[in-house]
Structure 1
């Protein structure tokens, strides 16, 4: 049975999951037509704004009340509305009859669209086809979160189970779709999924040990009011799993490729030798990736850190707040899972590739290509046989390859 056929159930699982998510999505609530939001373009400004709506209708809209100035006033450096800008209007029935319009915000989608286009151009220009596939996989992963994970959680399903199923679909896209279906990507997929399960177990244990309820943010409190069926503690763990997934896939792809190349260059390596040499490369990636994960969480929590500093909370007092403890658990559990992904994937890959018996697919050894080219350079990089004479080393490498081919032909 070919590897493509083996991967077919994973693709079926992905599409079935999306279908189930749509089916679980609650019906859209009825909207009131006398209250809502519309968009338009400012054509004139005075005490009020004259706005032309997308429908072509021109209306008069009130401008927001200016914020107070002077000592003790909040330091909000808000730009003023200008003619030609697209804005969002809130409308509601006026007490004296008719409809009242108020300018509520700017329309930000055009700027986001240009940024998305820049991201797509840069990714495609630098990484070409793989970069374009990575962008599509990222968008599809967001679709899984929106079309499956969120509706299923709102339907009352266990958030941990839902996120685990969603993570499986995201992994298929992030690994198979971007890097192709091969034995190396299969090893990376298995290693990542095992690391995700370990991360989930650690998250459950330490969420309970730290008495985290999931009510540590304003968003969670709002969910508790409008969607009481949602398990907030499970939702906290679901965010942990999805948040750590990106860094996990990066490091597992590298490890699987390294072990695959080691086994291909020297098929005589034992399981222990493959694991040891693979880990020599893996430990170099751990430090930078853990730092990336910690800094990502720190950047997201920077306003919180400023707020704690302003209120002069001691470190021991701050760590006792649930919203702080939640971020600490997120960061540390995700980092532990990231570190454990290296030995887990290395061991799985060493088991699969020992003896170099699995067939190579075209381009499989270039999943994470190294700067040095040629087998002799790869042999030097991985310290397989440090040569004094480059020509002799090349000949020895060719003899090992020929002996390996003869051994397989017997």
Structure 2
């Protein structure tokens, strides 16, 4: 055991920060044994000293002056769990400049301005670790960065937002509509009062950017990720997926396409036989495909104070060991510098439900609309007759722009009363 004590400052004491403080306090002796030196909590920055908290912070550690805390020359490690862009960015940069290594769970900041942070960490010769930024307690970033460092990752497919997975799971199992399922999620604490970041895909897009950057050794930001949320998913969409033996999930999809990276977040139908189809309620899972290792799946609780704090403490132990050994872990790997493929060029498949006139020649006209844009049809079926006639078409893979143009042409046709549903299809045989 080293005689040196490693001193830790925590920024934020909300759901995650309070659990970090609890674990640092309760597991003090075990952490010291794992690190090889005592780990001492020396300060916790908060907005209000009198705010109610889930844990009791040791006396004298709370402060509202986060800037002064990260500027202390006796702080070895800073844990940032306040979230958002500012003041988190400035505080992390200040911590690095003052010689501290940093552990963060801030997905939004990493997805927007990760390169600035990585460059600051490299300049300061300090660590910047962020396992907790994606999928809570699930170890996924470290395997991508370290365990698969000798392999070539070709695809990362994940359910990385528990709120949307809970909503879609309830729609599938109970037949509920989106609004009803969202209300239940809010009542149970799975969704915020303002659920926009979750249900519109912003949260998942930030995580997709981080996953794509790590998997493909290129800089990918949240703005590079094509994004659609689940607010337009209907009970009819979910029922149609069920009829196909599929389920609807909000997926983060990161793929290597030649010398480009494709990154997108949107709802999609996947076969119930796919491993991700069985991910229920608010759980997360990430499916990784690589050339040598093949297919790997990482599953577990993707959010929550204690699970996320578990990932934070895992990073903290690693960073503390590095400080003790006067070394650094792996920094940013962006050597490949691949461009991001525009969504229009990305090959996808569509499930299209069309209300049509029930008369001769309709099927041929619909097929011609697909052919006009070089989109091949995989399956087509008719449901109902007369005023209730509907065609359900599933395409083969084609550029997304061609599929989108096909849908627009269908909407302009006299025989088409309405295109009632358009959803992408992932997995399964084409």
Shorter chain as denominator, the TM-score bin is under 0.3
Between Structure 1 and Structure 2, the one with more strand by share is: 2
Normalization by structure 2: what TM-score? 0.26
Between Structure 1 and Structure 2, the one with more helix by share is: 1
Which structure has the larger Rg over C-alpha atoms? 1
Normalization by structure 1: what TM-score? 0.27
